Amino acid sequence: MSALVLVLAGTDHHPFDRMVAWADDAAVRHPEVHVVVQHGASRPPVVAEGKDFLGHDQLAGLLEAASVVVCHGGPGLITEAREAGHVPLCVPRDPALGEHVDAHQQRFAAMVGRVGVVREVLDRATFEVQLDAALAEGAHRGVGLATVHELRDSARAKVAAELDELLAVVRPQPRTRRRSHAGR
């Protein structure tokens, strides 16, 4: 059975042609690998198998079957990939390229990348290196369900701790109201 690389651009209306092109290049470089790209509003792949959208059951089935998952930087898909036992290659959408309205995916991917929830990928060269490494590792195949759940719980704890730390920095301190002594 050949490896399956699942590439998920998501459902945002902004095109993500950059990631689709990288997936097509991967399909050319690895003809022994089945590459499936959920491309949404992006142009469909030329070499890889393309699907514009996936129903949730279809997505869950592909995540279970995948050897490697590549996704954008949205928390929903990252969570789905982690729930299926993957440490996804995460390519955050870049607003400077018209892939999204702001840089929230870049900030989120950097944060969760630092704690090992994803493998952050910002350029084609890194994508190729990370994909080759993930294919060589065999991703999560052969990992028992208990281990997958341990990995998921550990990732959740890491993200929660990082979010708590970030919120502590930006959380305003409660103001104490001073009583006026005038009129006493």
Other beta carbons within 10 angstroms of residue 174's beta carbon come to 6
User: pLDDT averaged over the chain?
Assistant: 87
Checking if the pLDDT of 139 tops 60, the result is no
Query: In the structure, what pLDDT confidence band is assigned to residue 153 with cuts at 50, 70 and 90?
Result: confident
Query: In the structure, what pLDDT confidence band is assigned to residue 140 with cuts at 50, 70 and 90?
Result: very low
DSSP string computed for 43-56: PPPSSSEEES---H
Contacts with 135 (C-beta within 8 Å, 6 or more apart), sequence order: 3, 5, 30, 33, 67, 68
Domains and CATH numbers, the chain: 4-170 (3.40.50.2000)
Mean pLDDT for 109-116 is 92
What does the block give as tokens for 179? 């009583």
Lowest mean pLDDT among 7-11, 44-48, 109-113, 138-142: 138-142
Checking if the pLDDT of 118 tops 90, the result is yes
CA angle centred on 93, ends 92 and 98, rounded to 5°: 165
Of 90, 86, 79, which Cα lies nearest the Cα of 130? 90
Query: In the structure, what pLDDT confidence band is assigned to residue 141 with cuts at 50, 70 and 90?
Result: very low
